[in-house]
Amino acid sequence: MRAWIRMKMTTTSAKFPHTMGDREATPRWFTETDEGHSRWYADHFRELVEEGRDVEGEARLVDALIAPGSLVLDAGCGQGRVAAGLHRRGHRVIGVDIDPVLIEAAGTDSPGPTYLQADLTTLDLAASGHGETLDAIVCAGNVITYVAADAEAATLEAFRRNLRPDGVCVIGFHVERYPMQRFDRDLATSGFTVEHRFATWDLRPWHDEADFAVTILRA
C-alpha cells in the first residue's frame, strides 16, 4: 500500500468534532489516518520536490483544458503542489483544504495561490468573499474519498454550485474507496456531465479493472 494512504486503527474524530445536521461529518482524512499524518504528508511532498520529482502532472492536464488566466479551485489542496503548478502556469488559483496543518504548509511551501481553510462539502466561495464563479475545479489525490462518510454527493453538489456554467471539473481517486457506480449516480444527482474518463492523470485509457479513475466533468 502506498505510504500516504496509511490507515489507522483508532479514531481521532474528537480532535475535529464538527457535525452536519445530526450526523457525524468529520472528514475521513482525520478519522482514518494516524496522529501526525498531516505533518508527514507535508514533509513527504517537500522531500519529493527536493529530489526533483514530478509533482505537477495533474496541473499540466488541467492547464491543457482551460483558458489562460482562468480562475481555478484546487479542492482539497493539501500542501499546495497542484495549486502552485497552476499558479506558475498563469492561472488565478484558490486552494481550499480543511486541514489547518496542510493549509499552513501550502502558504509556506507553495506560495502564490490564495489558500482557505474550509469544508468542501459545504463550500460557498461567494460567502467567503470570493464572488467570481470558478472556471475550473481540480480535485486530485483521493480528496473525495477522504471527505466524511457519505458526503461525496454533497461535495460534488458544492463543486457544481461554485462552478460557472460550462466550467470544467477534473477529479481523480482510487475506485476501491468510491466505486464508479456510486460516483456516477452521485454525478447524475449533482448535475455534472461526464465528458471523459481515464485510468491515470497522463490519460491512459479507462477500463473496468482500473484501480484509479480520472474523470473530466462539465457543469
Ligand X SMILES: C[S@@+](CC[C@H](N)C(=O)[O-])C[C@H]1O[C@@H](n2cnc3c(N)ncnc32)[C@H](O)[C@@H]1O
> What string of DSSP letters covers 137-154?
EEE-SSGGGTSSTT-HHH
| b/e burial code for range 158-182 (CB count within 10 A of at least 16 → b) | bbbbbbeeebbbbbbbebeebeeee
Residues numbered 35-94 forming contacts with ligand X, rule: CB under 6 A:
76-78, 81-82
Distance CA 63, CA 57 (A): 10
CB of 63 or CB of 119, closer to ligand X: 119
- Is residue 143 close enough to count as binding ligand X by CB under 6 A? yes
- Is residue 119 close enough to count as binding ligand X by CB under 6 A? yes
Contact 187, 218 (CB under 8 A): no
Exactly one of 42, 94, 120, 217 binds ligand X (CB under 6 A); which one? 120
CB of 121 or CB of 215, closer to ligand X: 121
- Is residue 97 close enough to count as binding ligand X by CB under 6 A? yes
Question: Which residue is closest to ligand X by CB?
Answer: 141
Amino acid at 115: Y
Q: Whole-number minimum distance, CB 80 to ligand X, in Å?
A: 8
Residue for grid cell 473530466: 216
DSSP state of 218: E
Per CB under 6 A, residues contacting ligand X are 27, 29, 76-78, 81-82, 97-99, 102, 119-121, 140-143, 146-147
